[in-house]
Amino acid sequence: MRLLTWLAALLLSATISGEAQQRARFPHDKHAKLFPTCASCHAGIVAGTADRAYPPTASCASCHNDRDAKAVVWTAPARQATNLRFNHPVHAAKSAAEGGGAATPCVSCHSLRGDTAWMRVGTARAESCIGCHTHRASEHLAETAACTTCHTSLANARELPTAAIAAFPKPATHTQPDFASNHAPRNEGEVARCATCHAKESCVRCHANASNVRAIAQIASDARVASLMQGRTASYAAPASHTSTEWRLTHGADATKSIQRCANCHTRPSCTSCHTGSQNTRAARVIATLPQPAPHGARGVQLEGSRVHAANFLASHKTSAAAQRLDCAGCHQQRECTSCHAGASSRRFHAVDFVSRHAGAAFGQEQTCASCHRTETFCRSCHLKSSIATTGARSGVAHAGQPSWLLQHGQAARQGLASCTTCHQQRDCLRCHSDLGRKINPHGPDFDASKISARNKVMCMTCHLKDPLVP
Amino acid sequence: MKRLAAFAIVLSGLSTLNAQGVIVSGASSGRYIEVRPLVLDSVPFAQTDSAWGAYRQTSSGTLVRCTTLDAYCTFFRSAQRQSLVAMMQDIDVTGWGFGEGVSVHAQLRARTAAGAARELWPQATQTFDALAAYVDVDRSFARVRAGRQWLSSTLGVFNFDGLDLSVRPASFLATQLYAGGALVEGLNRPLDAGALAPVEDLPPSDRAYLIGGSASVRRSGRGSLNLQYQRVIRADRAALYSERVGGTADLNVGPATLSGQLVRDLAMGQTNELAASVHSPLVFSFDGGFTVRHHAPYFDLWTIWGAFSPVGFDEIATDLHYAQRDGAISLTANASWRSYQDTHSGLSFAPLRSDGWHVTVAGSARLLASVRADASYGADVGFGASGTNGDAAFRWSPATPFTIALRATAFQTIDEFQIGQGRVVGLGADATWEISPMLRLAADAFLYRQAIKDRPELVDWNQRRLNVRLEWSIGQGADERPWDGIIGKARGAP
């Protein structure tokens, strides 16, 4: 029985397809009654002599001579390129030594799935190998499969055409969500397993640090794979850890701890698209250890344009900046702050024509104007020059539409005094609200004169001719 | 002249010290602007009719002010259209490699304006400005910064000439002490009469010193807390210009972030800012937030404004955002309502509005692989100024280095307390060309047309604007670009 098994193994075709078993082009089943053994035609396979692996073409004519049977044209199939390590003579010899039968071993591998009739044969199935060899897995492409038992490395399978490589089946493990972050081989055995189907170019396509990874260096380069990879952009699946809402806040610690792990997918521009700040920060020094994109290598994950801060961050960043919740300097240069906060006319913060319609936002203090602009200089200088501001008139251009403005302006001033100061200077108010003016008291009911006087009596004396706190 | 010399010294120092790396980046910009300044005009008293109060009006309805016994009444009108060209050159220099953690930084600005209306351009006569110039020594546990610098803090962003010492005794704790001569924000000049005289008839009588400190606790991913104290003292120490404290706190609770802020003016005993907010991701790529806020204006004690008892307002605000993961569509909506405190002033029978509200909706969609559309609408109603505005833009990015956008805008023209007299529509285009990773050219042009409601005789606000901006960066290790960063990314917002 064992001999039969080994003889069947002799008939393993050059190429094994684990998924689709193909019928041989020679109609074996129609000749089932003519040939009692496999070796009568394929003796060379057992003996290891290629010229006798298939019967001569002329042997068909002994029957197919248009007299006994219709003449046919048959040629032996060319030897197919393969990456199999399988050796028919060795297996045949071992089967013979173990006392196997004559034909059964051929049939056990080459019989069609579920059909044991004599000479119903096709190309061998990978599962046939698993029957004897320690595969440590239940199926051909299992995660724990020991590929190198039956397969040579891709680099050594020099005759294998590029199309055959492109048609390699993809193990189910490769499509699992965490495969991108967990596929690194842990030992040389696993490297060899990867090298069954992959060449260095497979790795270089995505790994920005390919030249620094020992496992990748151990895998040979291959022109066929290179041609397959040409023009294919790298695809990076975000590891589960990266999808956390806190990742953008906490990734610095992980990067500092093991930046080389980051370097598998990230080049320096991945970081500097956000980390545009000082070169002297710890983050900058860590980032500097990442590789730059190689001219023909992987560019690394492209993060430019990705959303780092929350959608409303531009308007609400004050709290985070002040509390140093984020290391602003890690990403931003100070000039990015001063391009707005220095009162420059940068339009990066405000809309393009904000100057034409900023009044509403100023009254509402949607963003606190005084965080960036000093009303006495920035606002007033423009309002004065464009004549929006008055120079002392009690009813200027801005209030011409208010018939009772003189009586109403107290409420307006207390509600929006910051806006008043964008046009009016102190002396405008002193005309009425001072000892030298009309002596109209501008203080509210909760005004505490002693509190101000204790800090700056000079301010009191701007309006009062003598210290108001001294009876 | 002294500043130019100092700049030259900095640059020559960089070369003689053979810095390990120097980045020099700049932005050269030019703007063409048309304006119609307001001028005082007059009309014979006899040609006016009575309106109300002290006001009379012309036969066309223009309000004029007439003083008793004067033969003429006065009013403001728009002058003839004038134009100006404003040019600005920003240069940023960063050099490092003088020793571990030692770097020098300078941010310089030169500006000028030309044309009939050149005087209208703010600071047109201040041709040179040193926004920042400091030496930075940064070690893992501490940082010292000396020179002209800016501080971003709970109390705002302000600049000073002095020393800033930051110590990080632990990874979660940072402390900061700073002191120096106070500067006028926006002017970058000492707080004295000379700097403020052009715009302030009662400028501070002396320069001032600033001193402050802060402590921050940050648990990465958990939250943070910052406390700050700052005072500004007159140089002769005879008076206090300001004394404030501030605090901010963030706390992450699950996916939500809770934030709080307090700014208090110790000198006036007034709380200028008290806010609490919560923001959180919601369902289906939505995130949103809610804010409760009290705001009151702050004034330095060298002005009399604080003595006028300004009141603040209480505000509630909410915002909602939606963004598809692939960025194809994003939507934003926010709204707020504010209510002012009692002013104990004004006319009880004719009060001004004491509340206000604001609504904005905006959306962005990728129509084609290289075409994006943006639109927004906003309405703002308040006691002093109200208006609505809308924007739309189509942005075409045919190739990575090119972006072209067509923009349209419409908004109400506002003078304080005179609302909705006119409406302006604008049409424009902007384009950017990233010539190389270190060189970028941007330009935009706008044409505005004003339609004035029922007032055809008024001079229009029609005008044209043109901006050209060239941004560049050179230097060793200059693999970052000056226009990157989150602020730059918001450039396209309508």
Minimum distance, in Å, between the CA of residue B385 and any CA atom of chain A = 5
Give the residue from B31, B84, B125, B199 with the most A CB atoms within 10 Å of its CB, the best one to mutate. B199
> Is there a contact between A376 and B196 if contact means CB atoms under 8 Å apart?
yes
What burial class does residue A249 get, using C-beta atoms within 10 Å of its C-beta: 0-12 exposed, 13-18 middle, 19+ buried? middle
- pLDDT score at B484: 42
* Chain A residues inside the 8 Å CB shell of B308: 413-414, 417, 429, 433, 442-444
Minimum distance, in Å, between the CA of residue B451 and any CA atom of chain A = 15
Q: How many CA atoms lie within 13 A of A79 on its CB side?
A: 11
Q: Which of B150, B307, B428 sits opposite A443 (nearest CB)?
A: B307
* Chain B residues inside the 8 Å CB shell of A328: 152
Burial A419-439 (b: 16+ CB within 10 A, else e): bbbbbbbbbbbbeebbeeeee
- pLDDT score at A345: 38
Mean pLDDT over B254-279 rounds to: 90
For residue A320, give the nearest of B212, B170, B165, B218 by alpha carbon: B218
Per-10-residue mean pLDDT, chain A, length 471: 42 37 66 82 80 83 86 82 82 71 65 77 76 65 79 87 88 81 84 89 86 86 87 77 70 83 84 65 78 77 63 63 60 61 49 66 68 68 63 52 75 87 85 88 88 85 81 71
What burial class does residue A466 get, using C-beta atoms within 10 Å of its C-beta: 0-12 exposed, 13-18 middle, 19+ buried? exposed
Select, from the ranges B134-138, B175-179, B395-399, B436-440, the one with the highest average predicted confidence (pLDDT). B175-179
Mean pLDDT over B329-346 rounds to: 91
**A272 alpha carbon, distance to own chain's centre:** 16
For residue B103, give the nearest of B494, B389, B476, B361 by alpha carbon: B476
Burial B45-81 (b: 16+ CB within 10 A, else e): eeebeebeeebbbbeeebbbbbeeeeeebebbebbeb
Amino acid in the structure at residue B347? L
For residue B245, give the nearest of B265, B219, B216, B225 by alpha carbon: B265
Separation between Cα atoms, residue A35 and residue B278, nearest integer Å: 84
Q: Which residue of A has its CA nearest to B97?
A: A280
**B6 touches A at CB < 8 Å:** no
Q: How many CA atoms lie within 13 A of A339 on its CB side?
A: 24
**B236 touches A at CB < 8 Å:** no
Phi-psi label, residue A439: left if phi above 0, alpha if psi -120 to 50, beta otherwise: left
Give the residue from A274, A309, A376 with the most B CB atoms within 10 Å of its CB, the best one to mutate. A376
Please report, to the nearest 10 degrees, the dihedral formed by the alpha carbons of residues A437, A443, A444, A450 taken in order: -160
- pLDDT score at A10: 39
> Is there a contact between B140 and A448 if contact means CB atoms under 8 Å apart?
no
Residue A331 φ then ψ, to 5°: -115, -30
**A329 touches B at CB < 8 Å:** no
**B408 touches A at CB < 8 Å:** no
Question: Do strands B208-219 and B189-190 pair parallel, antiparallel, or not at all (unpaired)?
Answer: unpaired
Give the residue from B282, B286, B484 with the most A CB atoms within 10 Å of its CB, the best one to mutate. B484
Please report, to the nearest 10 degrees, the dihedral formed by the alpha carbons of residues A271, A275, A280, A284 taken in order: -10
> Is there a contact between B486 and A314 if contact means CB atoms under 8 Å apart?
yes
At residue B53 the predicted structure's pLDDT band, cuts being 50, 70 and 90, is low
**A444 touches B at CB < 8 Å:** yes
* Chain B residues inside the 8 Å CB shell of A359: 384-385, 387, 414, 416
What burial class does residue A18 get, using C-beta atoms within 10 Å of its C-beta: 0-12 exposed, 13-18 middle, 19+ buried? middle
**B82 touches A at CB < 8 Å:** no
Separation between Cα atoms, residue B126 and residue B86, nearest integer Å: 12
pLDDT in tens, A417-451: 888 888 888 888 888 898 888 889 999 888 888 88
Minimum distance, in Å, between the CA of residue A420 and any CA atom of chain B = 10
Q: Is the pLDDT of residue B319 over 80?
A: yes
Total residue length of chain B: 494
Q: Which residue of A has its CA nearest to B219?
A: A325
> Is there a contact between A363 and B482 if contact means CB atoms under 8 Å apart?
no
- pLDDT score at B487: 31
What burial class does residue B450 get, using C-beta atoms within 10 Å of its C-beta: 0-12 exposed, 13-18 middle, 19+ buried? middle
DSSP bridge partners of B218: B224
Separation between Cα atoms, residue A108 and residue A118, nearest integer Å: 11
Q: Which position has the token pair 């051909």?
A: A140
Separation between Cα atoms, residue B286 and residue B304, nearest integer Å: 47
What burial class does residue A73 get, using C-beta atoms within 10 Å of its C-beta: 0-12 exposed, 13-18 middle, 19+ buried? exposed
The whole model's pTM is what? 0.65
- ∠ Cα A273 A274 A278 (to 5°): 105
Q: Which residue of B has its CA nearest to A274?
A: B485
| DSSP H helices in B17-85 | none
Separation between Cα atoms, residue B458 and residue B82, nearest integer Å: 17
> Is there a contact between A412 and B305 if contact means CB atoms under 8 Å apart?
no
- pLDDT score at B220: 62
CB under 8 Å, gap of 24 or more: what pairs does A145-148 form? A145/A171, A145/A193, A146/A193, A147/A192, A147/A193, A147/A196, A147/A197, A148/A85, A148/A189, A148/A192, A148/A193, A148/A196
A-B contacts (CB, under 8 Å): 424
**B378 alpha carbon, distance to own chain's centre:** 19
Q: What is the largest CA-CA distance in chain B?
A: 80
> Is there a contact between A360 and B417 if contact means CB atoms under 8 Å apart?
no
**A469 touches B at CB < 8 Å:** no
* Chain A residues inside the 8 Å CB shell of B389: 357
Instruction: Return the structure tokens found at A191.
Output: 């490297």
- pLDDT score at B144: 92
Q: In what order do the strands lie in the sheet with B72-78?
A: B38-44, B72-78, B63-66, B55-58, B48-50
> Is there a contact between B382 and A360 if contact means CB atoms under 8 Å apart?
yes
Separation between Cα atoms, residue A43 and residue B28, nearest integer Å: 85
Total residue length of chain A: 471
Of A97-101, A441-445, B276-280, B464-468, the one with minimum mean pLDDT is A97-101
Neighbouring residues of A198: CB distance < 8 A, sequence distance ≥ 6: A154, A219, A225
Q: Which residue of A has its CA nearest to B332?
A: A311
Give ipTM to 2 decimals: 0.79
**B38 touches A at CB < 8 Å:** yes
For residue B250, give the nearest of B224, B219, B212, B273 by alpha carbon: B224
Helix (H, G, I), strand (E, B) or coil at B25: strand
Phi-psi label, residue A170: left if phi above 0, alpha if psi -120 to 50, beta otherwise: beta
* Chain B residues inside the 8 Å CB shell of A292: 479
Separation between Cα atoms, residue A439 and residue A431, nearest integer Å: 9
* Chain A residues inside the 8 Å CB shell of B216: 323-324
B256 touches B279 (CB < 8 A): yes
* Chain A residues inside the 8 Å CB shell of B287: 310-311
Which residues 79-108 of A are in CB contact (within 8 Å) with B?
A: none
Top pLDDT among B18 and B324 is at B324
**A425 touches B at CB < 8 Å:** yes
B111 touches A294 (CB < 8 A): no
Minimum distance, in Å, between the CA of residue B14 and any CA atom of chain A = 16
B154 touches A346 (CB < 8 A): no
**B407 touches A at CB < 8 Å:** yes
pLDDT in tens, A89-122: 887 777 777 765 555 567 767 777 777 778 888 8
Minimum distance, in Å, between the CA of residue A83 and any CA atom of chain B = 41
* Chain B residues inside the 8 Å CB shell of A414: 308-311, 343-345
* Chain B residues inside the 8 Å CB shell of A320: 250
Mean pLDDT over B57-85 rounds to: 77
Minimum distance, in Å, between the CA of residue B301 and any CA atom of chain A = 7
Which residues 42-81 of A are in CB contact (within 8 Å) with B?
A: none
Distances in whole angstroms, Cα of residue A401 to Cα of each of A189, A225, B57: 87, 79, 11
> Is there a contact between B350 and A404 if contact means CB atoms under 8 Å apart?
yes
> Is there a contact between A363 and B356 if contact means CB atoms under 8 Å apart?
yes
For residue A269, give the nearest of A288, A282, A295 by alpha carbon: A288
Give the residue from B77, B250, B416, B460 with the most A CB atoms within 10 Å of its CB, the best one to mutate. B416
Burial B243-265 (b: 16+ CB within 10 A, else e): bbbbbbbbbbeeeebebbbbbbb
Q: Which position has the token pair 């208006």?
A: B387
At residue B8 the predicted structure's pLDDT band, cuts being 50, 70 and 90, is low
> Is there a contact between A320 and B250 if contact means CB atoms under 8 Å apart?
yes
> Is there a contact between B107 and A359 if contact means CB atoms under 8 Å apart?
no
* Chain B residues inside the 8 Å CB shell of A378: 122, 185-186
> Is there a contact between B122 and A417 if contact means CB atoms under 8 Å apart?
no
**Helix, strand, coil fractions of chain A, as percent rounded to 5:** 45, 0, 55
- pLDDT score at A399: 67
Separation between Cα atoms, residue B316 and residue B209, nearest integer Å: 37
> Is there a contact between A380 and B239 if contact means CB atoms under 8 Å apart?
no
Mean pLDDT over B105-131 rounds to: 83
Q: Which of B174, B381, B484 sits opposite A273 (nearest CB)?
A: B484
Minimum distance, in Å, between the CA of residue A173 and any CA atom of chain B = 26
